[in-house]
Amino acid sequence: MIIRFCHITLFLLFAYSITAQTMRRGSYLGFTGGVGTAFVASQYNYGLQKMTPIPGNAYTLGAVGGVTLKGGHAIHGEVVFSWQSQRYQDVWDVEGQEVLVGKDLDLTYLKFPLMYRRVIGIPNGDKDIGDSKFFWGLGVEMAALYDAQQDYSINGQVDDFVFDTDFNPTFENPPPNALDLFKILDTSVTGTFGWERFMSEHFVFQAEIKGAASVLDINQEKWRLSSSDYSPSRNIVLNFKCALIFYVGRVERLDLY
């Protein structure tokens, strides 16, 4: 997986370096990484009684690129791997004994966010913009599911994959693995609010809070429950991210803003 990611990143950086020379203003590229929390809304246990959801961890790592125009407008894109987890846990009464039952769901996506960004506080004719600025952004995010793992546990010991076909008569056989339960492609709306600081005429450090929420059901059609209380499952991710970006040409801040 890491080798494939490196190949994709190097290809995109090479393609970007070729096209960047044709852009009129602040063309940049760089790397980003972040940590945060993830939650899958309305995820089902397929035959087991509901368990209390606990938000899990989320991690991102990848490459960024974009172009900043005058007036603080920018087009920003990323290619990142996202590792996100969802935890469930409850105490059940089984034959008169209390049993701690858990479920761990881990999803790995290759994501492609594309965003419009706007630097805050740059009135027309501003001559003293300073070294640091805040920004916000909105966009869409396409994601390709790379891997899915789903484990059940009893008193901390991992149990076999549970899928009760009696819970829904349309399911003749359980899926061979957890990856089959989810759609390969996901689409989300995404937004960000962050801060950037120029460290030199080429390098800029950025820190941001970025959120994304699926607009489509992530469950594979074949395994969607037909019961009346079914509702779509959606990814919700919130990350704190940092990025170090490099402007291709030597630029002055007044040229960017």
d(CA 177, CA 155): 23
CA-nearest of 161, 168, 186, 184 to 224 is 168
Query: Quick one: pLDDT at residue 21?
Result: 43
Q: pTM of the full predicted structure?
A: 0.79
Boundaries of every domain in the chain: 2-256
Q: What is the pLDDT of residue 207?
A: 97
Phi–psi pair at 200, nearest 5 degrees: -160, -170
CA angle 216-219-222, nearest 5°?
125
Element spanning 183, H or E: none
8 A C-beta contact, residue 57 and residue 247:
no
CA distance 79 to 65: 9
Q: Output the CATH code of domain 2-256.
A: 2.40.160.20
Q: Is 155 helix (H, G, I), strand (E, B) or coil?
A: coil
Please list the pLDDT of the chain residue by residue as tens digits (257 residues): 555 555 555 555 554 554 444 344 578 999 999 999 999 888 776 656 667 788 899 999 999 999 887 777 889 999 999 999 988 877 777 677 777 878 888 999 999 999 999 988 665 544 444 567 899 999 999 999 999 988 877 777 776 555 555 444 455 566 777 888 899 999 999 999 999 988 877 888 999 999 999 999 998 887 777 666 678 889 999 999 999 999 886 555 555 55
Q: Which pLDDT value is given to residue 18?
A: 42
Q: Which two tokens stand for residue 179?
A: 């990856």
- Give pLDDT, residue 19: 45
